[in-house]
Amino acid sequence: MRPFSYTRARTLTDASQTVSDDRAMAIAGGTNLLDLMKLQVETPSQLADINRVGFAEIEDTDDGGLSIGALATNTETAVHPRVRADYPVLSRAILAGATQQLRNKATNGGNLCQRTRCYYFTNIDQPCNKREPGSGCGAIDGIAKLHAILGTSDQCIATYPGDMAVALSALDAQVQIATSDGGSRTVPVRDFHCLPGDTPWRENVLEPGEIITAITLPAPVGGTQLYRKVRERSSYAFALVSVAAIVELEDGRFSRADLAFGGVAHKPWHDPRVADALIGKAPSPELFDRAADILLEDAQGFGENDFKIPLARRTLHAVLEQAVEEAS
Amino acid sequence: MAQTISVNGAPHSVPDDPRVTLLDFLRQDVGLTGTKKGCDHGQCGACTVIVNGVRINSCLTLAAMHDGDEVTTIEGLGTPDEPSALQKAFVEHDGYQCGYCTPGQICSATAMLTEIANGWPSDASETLEGAVEISGEEIRERMSGNLCRCGAYANIVAAIRDVAEQSA
Amino acid sequence: MTVHFKQDKPDESNRLDDMRQGVIGKALPRVEGLAKVTGTATYAAEYSIDNCAEGVLVTSTITRGEVTSIDRDAALAMPGVIAVIDDPRLTTRAAQGTADEAPQQKPKTVCYWGQPIALVVAETFEQARDATKHLAIEYRVEEGAPLDPNTVEPEEQEDETVHQGDLAHAMSEATHSVDVTYTTRGHASAAMEPHAAIAQWDGDKLTVYASLQMLNYNISELADALDMEEGDIRLVSRFVGGGFGSKLGISEEAVAASIAAKELGRPVRVVMSRQQVFQCIMRRSETTQRLRLCTDANGTLTGFGHEALVSNLPGEEFAEPVLQSSHFLYGGENRELMLKVARIHRMTAGSVRAPGEAVGMPALEAAMDVLAEEVGIDPVELRLKNIPEKNPEEGLPFSSHKLAECLRQGAEAFGWDRGPRKPRQTREGEWWVGTGMASAARVHNVSEAKARVTLKPDGTALVETDMTDIGTGTYTILSQIAGEMLGLSPDRVLVDLGDTRHPRGPGSGGSWGAASIGSAVYVACQAIREELASRLDVEEAELDLSDGKAGSGESIVDLLDGKDLAREGYYEPGDIADDYTASGFGAFFAQVRVNRFTGEARVDRMLGAFGFGRVLNHKTARSQCLGGITWSIGVALTEALEFDPRDGHLVNPDLAEYHVPVHRDVPDLDVIMVEERDPAASPIQAKGIGELGMCGGAAAIANAIYNASGARVFDFPMTPDRVLAAMPD
């Protein structure tokens, strides 16, 4: 690690002031940041420890939803009685990620900001436009098994690696952000992460000095909630493809089909056209295929990850089949 | 006020260099080398310790972030003269080979039994609600953050089941 | 006093079975168990040494060329940084197993991406690690280094080549034949303890605490690298956090620490990062293997062909010995075997657990499954039919052979259904479920070995050798062998290992440790028994020792007259190796489920039955088998090194992206140890078991994937993408 000064922020204002400097960073759980600092992928000159500024509560909101503190750990969130009862897709997604030790330390805010696992991003002696703008993308003509098939650019084909945010996207959760001027703003999870475009270094919409304070979940949405993660070993591996699904049927037809996909793009992938294709229709393999056609219309592989296109289709089938079975 | 971390009940000063991880602090500053460095990146679990009752990877946290915290390491769970039930079971079931991942496995398993008792679900749980049934699959999923390259998994699970069933 | 025993003929006396203590073979817990479970066992980096500086290796960012300059000023100006060392004696690769000489040195010459080129030393680890990123290194790049084993003209390993009869003709005449090609990806040992060394000088005497498997070779390798006498070096490796081949030879950090400690006049510790362990040590070569098998109408092999392509760096002698057991496992009079090596500039290829059979057996045994289907017989039956009477190439007899028993006992215990086999017969929800089996074989090796055994006047015994215990159970089995021979409870036997001040052992590797060092201890104990017998004025054969007493009632302590009774046993394999083909054999059975949507494969249960001579400790031997089966799961399903096609760098050098199996990948496993005595294997009738358990197991899983789902995959590991690509709709 590069030397840095360490300060423990007492208040959010403290923290916000510190991280307004673009060479400073906030540290909460640290499970991703310290990993990258040891590799010198991240080289902050100052760390503001925000673990004791509050924002760790999980509490009911006025509209019957749930506010999950940014500094609550992944574990506290996954095992919270209301999350388990009302938002099981979120519990399931969190429990499918990482390990108990990591989830015990990782915070919700940090998890949203988790950086890609692209092999070229984590190796500072290789080109990466995300890490070093203009140096090129090592993955495009290199080893790209983990990489994206949707929303890529000629600058970057990395994926967002997390699981929790995929479920939050299906739930249409909102990210609460404290702004550097002491105010706040709200951004839907679906809009929080960016596509790489020409600015692959920009992974989310946070501005300098901004800090996530909470994630709010809508009033319980019911339905059958599933999280399916396909991976190369049975635990402790990043998703090749994952699907978060909230599905409801009425009179044998889909009345709700909120689906989000992990492992396929630079952000949790949510395409409203997929729900449009399903709602009002009776489940059938042909219908699932049409939904997959829409989802994957613009999918592009880079050789090694070509398999993700059929895998995403098949996983969508698996999830919808299971959801229909459980719903009926 | 000097910042201190309690390690197995004894206070230790937080190191000056904020870069020092909790893992290196334990191994170098405190001199407790039972906590192992296997990967230094949260990918193997050999460095697992229990902080304020919760298991974490000590390699992915800074010592400076833990002033006032209570850290329990493998040395705090038992000694050769007075091993814990899990430590004894690992010997009995040959739940190790080279021994390098072993302290992490045992710290992890110790905390895991509490998590199960608290009814925390896992990826392997059939349902998210209610008491957790201690099955092989539950133990395996919950222990998957602790790699063992010698391949002692089957014996580790047997050792944990033995203790879990005795205490159940 | 050294007693030399060279085994030139089989030993049918099975002397250990005549002893009275009754501890040999017993499932005793490890003698060092409590130290390991309480965190008090000391590994290489953990010795508390005053004033120890911290070194971190610097590695190259080019594939081939020369380091033309290292600007160290910026690094040296950093707080705590003491030195930047680029001494020409620094080694750039780990030595191959049993090399006995220094590996490649001259760190300015770069042969692969990630090669060590210098060492930075600082007061603290964080200072040193950071400083490695502040060196301005200039290179002269030599472009065009070949990186793809399939695009270079490979070298034939002529001593592996067999042309016997006419395989092509046999294939064309045969009733049944298969001609299939498999690939396997590179593997990493990924021992949990990273390579580490602390070097400390006392004048011209060097002590290195290191994590090494074969101190007997490592001491000469280090001496050669430093241009020193072995007598001036002491190596200590009391606990080794896993080796699996990666610590067979002296590695870069030990040499670098030694050089730095001398230059700085203070102790230096160097621990490799996990990424460096992946990049700078050893990979198991990827392989491409063509199997040609043909039979008569009944399924008896008439032809056997196995050709393999592997790779290594230019100048490395090691070539993954893929065909090792293929030479003798099955009959077939027309034989064609050939091993070729492609010279490419990926990191060094070397030994990773069970070099050869770890990948050769899975390909052979997967092809046998294709053949069984082609012939239309049960795959167990096909193996039983083709067990040769003698080595089909050299005509040598087998020293012992338990394949048939393993196949039969394994099938019985597993509940193998010998009925007609068709894929895709069982579905449970989303999962296709099926079974598969494979044979196991691993050549048996032994090596010369020395150990000193001392009977103490306090009624204990001390066993001393520089042999290591890398998790295999050496401490424990030696206490059992000595205890059995000398009539002592094993807890009265202190075993002191891993220190070159002791007599030279064989080192741990090639599964030869237990049989070799166990024989040396046996020889020493036999000599002590003879001395005791003469003091009692009886024949040694009549000496009954147990619980510290002779059968006639005399206490052993009384016979010592207050003095130590020490003998050094020197065991040498002898000519017997030329007279027999010696191998461990076994069989694997697996039940696997394959997700019909996603192609994920999971092992439901697995059984291995193995015959490997005398079992010295049923607990630790079983653990070795469990470990091997667990590695089989990794070979079958998850493990693959990935190399960049442009610069050959290892793309996944960590434990997040190189997928060793986790707890959840490994179900309950059953092990059957088919007890036998192999009279030609060693004076204690034992063979190795550290590797046999993974030699073929991946094929049982592959064959089960086919039986479950109908996906016949020809590439290991069988990750979801590959299973899906092969799965019928």
The per-residue pLDDT of chain C, averaged, comes to 97
Determine the Cα–Cα distance for residues B34 and C36; give it in Å rounded to an integer: 9
Binary contact (C651, A231; C-beta < 8 A): no
Under 8 Å between Cβ of C115 and C67:
no
Supply the pLDDT for residue C218. 98
Which is nearest to C38 in space by CA: B112, A233, A192, B88? B88
pLDDT higher than threshold 60 for residue C163: yes
Q: Which run of H or of E encompasses C474?
A: helix C474-486
* Listed residues B76, B94, B124: the one ending a domain: B76
- Average of pLDDT values for C441-462? 97
Q: Which run of H or of E encompasses C83?
A: strand C81-85
Under 8 Å between Cβ of A316 and A278:
no
Question: Which of A234, A238, A311 lies at the smallest CB-CB distance from C662?
Answer: A234
Residues of A in contact with C651 (CB under 8 A): 119, 123, 142-143
pLDDT higher than threshold 70 for residue B2: no
Question: Catalytic pick from C221, C307, C639, C691?
Answer: C691
CATH number assigned to the domain covering C391-445+579-726? 3.30.365.10
Determine the Cα–Cα distance for residues C232 and C187; give it in Å rounded to an integer: 36
Determine the Cα–Cα distance for residues C1 and C465; give it in Å rounded to an integer: 15
Residues of B in contact with A35 (CB under 8 A): 41-42, 60
Residues of A in contact with C665 (CB under 8 A): 233-235
* Phi/psi at C241 (5° precision): -80, 55
As assigned by CATH, the class of the C2-41+447-572 domain is alpha beta
Quickly state the pLDDT bin for B168 (edges 50, 70, 90). Answer: low
In this predicted model, what pLDDT tens digit does every residue of C86-102 receive, in sequence order?
A: 999 999 999 999 999 99
> Are residue B91 and residue B132 in the same domain, yes or no?
yes
> Are residue B91 and residue B149 in the same domain, yes or no?
yes
Q: Which residues of C508-546 are buried (b: 16+ CB within 10 A; e: fewer)?
A: bbbbbbbbbbbbbbbbbbbbbbebbbebbeeebeebebb
Binary contact (B121, A75; C-beta < 8 A): no
B18 touches chain C (CB under 8 A): no
Binary contact (B65, A51; C-beta < 8 A): yes
> Are residue B68 and residue B93 in the same domain, yes or no?
no
Q: How far is B103 from chain C (nearest CA, A)?
A: 6
> Are residue B94 and residue B69 in the same domain, yes or no?
no
Within 10 Å of residue C672's Cβ, how many Cβ atoms?
Answer: 21
The residue of chain B nearest to residue C653, with distances taken between CA atoms, is: B39
Determine the Cα–Cα distance for residues C509 and C143; give it in Å rounded to an integer: 37
Question: Which of C126, C129, C600 lies at the smallest CB-CB distance from A230?
Answer: C600
Binary contact (C241, B36; C-beta < 8 A): yes
The residue of chain C nearest to residue A311, with distances taken between CA atoms, is: C598
Fold type of domain C44-144+189-283: Aldehyde Oxidoreductase; domain 4 (3.30.365)
Percent of chain C at pLDDT exceeding 90? 98
How do the domains of chain C map onto residue ranges?
2-41+447-572, 44-144+189-283, 391-445+579-726
Write the single-letter amino acid at A307: F
Determine the Cα–Cα distance for residues A241 and A315; give it in Å rounded to an integer: 8
Write the single-letter amino acid at A328: S
In this predicted model, what pLDDT tens digit does every residue of C500-547 receive, in sequence order?
A: 999 999 999 999 999 999 999 999 999 999 999 999 999 999 999 999
Residues of B in contact with A99 (CB under 8 A): 45, 144-145
Classify C433 as helix, strand or coil.
strand
Determine the Cα–Cα distance for residues A105 and A51; give it in Å rounded to an integer: 11
* Listed residues B57, B76, B95: the one ending a domain: B76
C604 touches chain A (CB under 8 A): no
Q: Which run of H or of E encompasses C308?
A: strand C301-312
Q: What is the CATH number of the domain that holds B90?
A: 1.10.150.120
> Are residue B35 and residue B104 in the same domain, yes or no?
no
C2-41+447-572 shares its CATH topology with C44-144+189-283: yes
Mutate to test the interface with B, among A8, A101, A114, A228 (most CBs of B within 10 A): A101
Six-digit token string for C621: 């031997």
Detail the DSSP E strand segments found in C347-499.
426-428, 431-443, 449-455, 461-464, 493-496
Question: Which of B18, B40, B41 lies at the smallest CB-CB distance from A6?
Answer: B18
* Phi/psi at C650 (5° precision): -70, 120
Quickly state the pLDDT bin for C273 (edges 50, 70, 90). Answer: very high
SS3 letters for C572-611? ECCCHHHHCECEEEEEEEEEEEEECCCCCEEEEEEEEEEE
In this predicted model, what pLDDT tens digit does every residue of C361-418 receive, in sequence order?
A: 999 999 999 999 999 999 999 999 999 999 999 899 999 999 999 999 999 999 999 8
> Considering only residues 82 to 111 of chain A, which have any Cβ-Cβ distance to chain B shorter than 8 Å?
84-85, 88, 91-92, 95-96, 98-102, 104-105
Supply the pLDDT for residue B111. 98
Question: Which of C130, C645, C662 lies at the smallest CB-CB distance from A1?
Answer: C130
C691 is known as an active-site residue: yes
Query: How many domains is chain B built from?
Result: 2
DSSP A232-297: SSSSS---SEEEEEEEEEETTEEEEEEEEEESSSSS-B--HHHHHHHBTS---HHHHHHHHHHHTT
> Which residue intervals of chain B are DSSP H helices?
22-24, 74-77, 85-92, 102-117, 136-142, 153-167
Q: What is the CATH number of the domain that holds B67?
A: 3.10.20.30
C132 touches chain A (CB under 8 A): no
Supply the pLDDT for residue C419. 80
Give the Cα-Cα-Cα angle B44, B47, B53 (nearest 5 degrees): 115
> Are residue B38 and residue B70 in the same domain, yes or no?
yes
Mutate to test the interface with C, among B97, B110, B161 (most CBs of C within 10 A): B97
Binary contact (C39, B73; C-beta < 8 A): yes
Residues of C in contact with B102 (CB under 8 A): 36-37
Percent of chain B at pLDDT exceeding 90? 96
Q: How far is A76 from chain B (nearest CA, A)?
A: 10
Determine the Cα–Cα distance for residues B134 and B143; give it in Å rounded to an integer: 13
Which is nearest to C496 in space by CA: C520, C523, C516, C466? C466
Mutate to test the interface with C, among A146, A233, A261 (most CBs of C within 10 A): A233
- Cβ neighbourhood burial of C643 (10 Å; 0-12, 13-18, 19+): buried
Domain containing B117 equals: 85-167
Binary contact (C597, A235; C-beta < 8 A): no
Taken in order of first residue, the domains within chain A and their CATH numbers are 5-48 (3.30.43), 224-327 (3.30.390.50)
Which is nearest to C346 in space by CA: C111, C140, C163, C125? C111
Q: How far is C302 from chain B (nearest CA, A)?
A: 38
Detail the DSSP E strand segments found in B36-76.
48-51, 54-57, 70-72
Could you tell me the end-to-end alpha-carbon distance of chain A, in angstroms, rounded to an integer?
54
Determine the Cα–Cα distance for residues C405 and C489; give it in Å rounded to an integer: 33
Question: What does DSSP assign to residue B142?
Answer: H
pLDDT higher than threshold 70 for residue B1: no
Question: Interface partners of C (3+ CB pairs, < 8 Å)?
Answer: A, B
Residues of C in contact with A123 (CB under 8 A): 649, 651
Determine the Cα–Cα distance for residues A141 and A147; give it in Å rounded to an integer: 12
Beta strands A184-188 and A174-178, pairing class: antiparallel
Residues of C in contact with B26 (CB under 8 A): none
* Phi/psi at C571 (5° precision): -100, 135
Question: Which of B64, B112, B128 lies at the smallest CB-CB distance from A88?
Answer: B128
Chain B residues within 8 angstroms (CB to CB) of chain A: 17-19, 21, 40-42, 45, 48, 54-57, 59-62, 64-65, 108, 111-112, 115, 118-123, 125, 128-129, 140-142, 144-145
Determine the Cα–Cα distance for residues C489 and C517; give it in Å rounded to an integer: 20
* Listed residues B76, B108, B126: the one ending a domain: B76
Percent of chain C at pLDDT exceeding 70? 100
Binary contact (A91, B120; C-beta < 8 A): no
DSSP A36-47: HHHTTS---SEE
Binary contact (A230, C642; C-beta < 8 A): no
Binary contact (C656, A232; C-beta < 8 A): no
Residues of A in contact with B115 (CB under 8 A): 100
Supply the pLDDT for residue B167. 79
Residues of chain A with pLDDT below 70 are none
Supply the pLDDT for residue A327. 87
pLDDT higher than threshold 90 for residue C696: yes
Residue length, chain B?
A: 168
Supply the pLDDT for residue C630. 98
B49 touches chain C (CB under 8 A): no
> Considering only residues 253 to 272 of chain A, which have any Cβ-Cβ distance to chain C shorter than 8 Å?
none
Question: Interface partners of B (3+ CB pairs, < 8 Å)?
Answer: A, C
> Considering only residues 191 to 230 of chain A, which have any Cβ-Cβ distance to chain C shorter than 8 Å?
230
Question: Which of C192, C619, C627 lies at the smallest CB-CB distance from B100?
Answer: C192
DSSP C336-361: EEEEEEEE--SSPB---SSTTHHHHH
Binary contact (A233, C652; C-beta < 8 A): no
Residues of B in contact with A102 (CB under 8 A): 42, 56-57, 60, 145
Under 8 Å between Cβ of C656 and C638:
no
Residues of C in contact with B139 (CB under 8 A): 663
Under 8 Å between Cβ of A94 and A163:
yes
In this predicted model, what pLDDT tens digit does every residue of B111-123 receive, in sequence order?
A: 999 999 999 999 9
> Are residue B117 and residue B72 in the same domain, yes or no?
no
Within 10 Å of residue C677's Cβ, how many Cβ atoms?
Answer: 18
> Are residue B92 and residue B156 in the same domain, yes or no?
yes
Quickly state the pLDDT bin for C420 (edges 50, 70, 90). Answer: confident
The per-residue pLDDT of chain B, averaged, comes to 97
The residue of chain B nearest to residue C661, with distances taken between CA atoms, is: B147
B79 touches chain C (CB under 8 A): yes
Q: How far is C144 from chain B (nearest CA, A)?
A: 33
Q: Looking at the whole model, is its pTM more than 0.80?
A: yes
